[in-house]
């Protein structure tokens, strides 16, 4: 049975690593990786393949950056060509990026069934490109792997109950897989100076970075905090601060994006996390580090339990007030599954593939 897995952006490499590891233990499935090339800089691309032992993609479309329409269109053409040649039994897509949408759309038009890992997430903010990508991908996928019961309920509301399976979150599997390795390190291998007390910040969402006034406000708020802010800069944010002439203040320690294991180490050691990233909100939750989210909504509402994660938008006072709150960190993490989402997904996929082949 042949599966083509379509990936292209940083969060998808981490999710795909969990599934590829499980597929390697199941000899009934042949997996082919197709990389769209959406992310291409070493620190947000190759580093993950090396570190997480992800097999080299058989195909890389090298699409690179562009406007939404142009980028997605180029992906569609490239993916369609490969699907026509490879004729897989299933296409597997992850999350909510333009690579997810292009992969699902190219496949479904060729009548190749699609499985969506991380289905059913909603921010209910249709101005986010990710929200549109999720809604469309969920509506055209045959198998929907939901990471939380909130996602299951949402898919039921959208009449997709028959396609939906609660699996837990592969990002939770991943954190559990690497956590002990990081905790047992004798010394840190971070490639830069890390103060003993700091907040870790990651900001990259279009709604925060594409408005110069908002982005300036975020940078000046971080500069006013009482302890240093370590800030691995996403290339989108790097490009924006350059074009808006924002000079980070002296309270900010700006670094290149870090690899996954360093990122988990930085979350574990930080006083608090300040982020607009979906993945980083959850990692802070899984690793018992309080989080302040620079957005007005989150798809991961479970993380808000006990003020573990606090939504602040971009308002400076709200951010500073939220950083003073001591959350209850002893909340139940089972809502993200039991750490075996990867195995469950492979089992469900195998069952479905056998069923589909028997029908033919
Ligand atoms: C994309 C996803 C977003 C996800 C994020 C993860 C979409 C619509 N957005 O956002 O959901 O949270 O990835 O990190 O798919 N750039 C580089 N080098 C690279 C890649 C990008 O310099 O290797 C710069 C380019 O200037 C590019 C900009 O970053 O225009 C944005 O990249 P893009 O892939 O379009 O979106 P992300 O912001 O990375
Ligand atoms: N990440 C990383 N290094 C960084 C920032 C993030 O390894 O410097 C990892 C982290 O595990 C996170 C994942 O990349 O969960 C995806 O994060 P990103 O913020 O890019 O995307 P999102 O989850 O918001 O789609």
Residue identifier of the C-alpha nearest atom 9 of ligand 2: 260
- Measured from the CA of 98, which atom of ligand 1 is nearest? 15
Residue identifier of the C-alpha nearest atom 18 of ligand 2: 277
Q: Which residues pair with 201 in a beta bridge?
A: 274
Residue identifier of the C-alpha nearest atom 5 of ligand 1: 9
C-alpha neighbours within 13 Å on the C-beta side of residue 79:
36
- Measured from the CA of 38, which atom of ligand 1 is nearest? 34
Annotated active-site residue 204? The verdict is yes
**How many Å is the Cα radius of gyration of the chain?**
20
Q: Would you say the CB of residue 11 lies under 6 angstroms from ligand 1? A: yes
Q: Would you say the CB of residue 121 lies under 6 angstroms from ligand 2? A: no
The residue whose CB lies within 8 Å of the most ligand 1 atoms, and thus the one to mutate among 236, 243, 275, is: 236
Q: Would you say the CB of residue 41 lies under 6 angstroms from ligand 1? A: yes
The answer for 309, left when phi > 0, alpha when psi is -120 to 50, beta otherwise, is: beta
Q: Which of 35, 39, 116, 204 is catalytic?
A: 204
Residue identifier of the C-alpha nearest atom 9 of ligand 1: 97
Distance CA(313)–CA(315), nearest Å, equals 6
Tens place of pLDDT per residue across the chain (360 aa): 899 999 999 999 999 999 999 988 777 899 999 999 999 999 999 999 999 999 999 999 999 999 999 999 999 999 999 999 999 999 999 999 999 999 999 999 999 999 999 999 999 999 999 999 999 999 999 999 999 999 999 999 999 999 999 999 999 999 999 999 999 988 888 989 899 999 999 999 999 999 999 999 999 999 999 999 999 999 999 999 999 999 999 999 999 999 999 999 999 999 999 999 999 999 999 999 999 999 999 999 999 999 999 999 999 999 999 999 999 888 888 999 999 999 999 999 999 988 887 876
* Torsion of the alpha carbons at 346, 258, 48 and 96, rounded to the nearest 10: 50
Contact by Cβ (8 Å): 274, 295:
no
C-alpha neighbours within 13 Å on the C-beta side of residue 208:
23
- Measured from the CA of 44, which atom of ligand 1 is nearest? 23
- Measured from the CA of 236, which atom of ligand 1 is nearest? 29
Contact by Cβ (8 Å): 97, 18:
no
Tell me the pTM.
0.97
**Ligand at shortest distance from the CA of 291:** 2
Ligand 1 center to 1 CA (angstroms): 32
Q: Would you say the CB of residue 280 lies under 6 angstroms from ligand 2? A: yes
Q: Would you say the CB of residue 279 lies under 6 angstroms from ligand 2? A: yes
Q: Would you say the CB of residue 235 lies under 6 angstroms from ligand 1? A: yes
Contact by Cβ (8 Å): 166, 152:
yes
């Amino acid at each position: 049975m042949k599966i083509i897995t379509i990936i292209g952006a940083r969060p998808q490499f981490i999710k795909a690593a969990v599934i590829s590891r499980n597929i390697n233990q199941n000899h009934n499935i042949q997996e082919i990786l197709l990389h769209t090339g959406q992310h291409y800089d070493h620190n947000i691309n190759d580093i993950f393949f090396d570190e997480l032992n992800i097999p080299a993609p058989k195909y890389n479309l090298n699409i690179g950056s562009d406007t939404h329409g142009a980028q997605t269109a180029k992906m569609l053409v490239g993916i369609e060509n490969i699907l026509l040649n490879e004729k897989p039994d299933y296409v597997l897509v992850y999350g909510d990026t333009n690579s997810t949408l292009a992969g699902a759309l190219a496949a479904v038009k060729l009548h190749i069934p699609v499985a969506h890992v991380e289905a059913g997430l909603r921010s209910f903010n249709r101005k986010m490109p990710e929200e549109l990508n999720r809604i469309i991908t969920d509506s055209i996928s045959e198998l929907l792997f939901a990471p939380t019961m909130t996602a299951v309920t949402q898919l039921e509301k959208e009449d997709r109950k028959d396609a939906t399976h609660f699996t837990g979150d592969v990002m939770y599997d991943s954190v559990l897989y690497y956590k002990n390795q990081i905790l047992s390190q004798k010394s840190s291998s971070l490639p830069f100076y890390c103060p003993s007390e700091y907040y870790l910040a990651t900001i990259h969402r279009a709604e925060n970075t594409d408005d110069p006034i908002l982005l300036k406000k975020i940078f000046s708020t971080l500069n006013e905090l009482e302890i240093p802010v370590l800030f691995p800069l996403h290339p989108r944010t790097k490009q924006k601060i350059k074009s808006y002439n924002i000079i980070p203040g002296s309270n900010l320690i700006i670094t290149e994006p870090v690899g996954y294991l360093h990122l988990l180490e930085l979350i574990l050691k930080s006083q608090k996390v300040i982020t607009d990233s979906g993945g980083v909100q959850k990692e802070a939750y899984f690793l018992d580090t309080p989080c302040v989210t620079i957005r007005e909504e989150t798809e991961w509402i479970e993380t808000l339990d006990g003020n573990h994660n606090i939504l602040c938008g971009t308002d400076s006072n709200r951010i500073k007030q939220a950083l003073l709150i001591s959350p209850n960190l002893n909340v139940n993490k089972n809502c993200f599954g039991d750490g075996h989402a990867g195995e469950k997904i492979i089992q469900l996929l195998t069952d479905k593939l056998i069923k589909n082949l028997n029908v033919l």
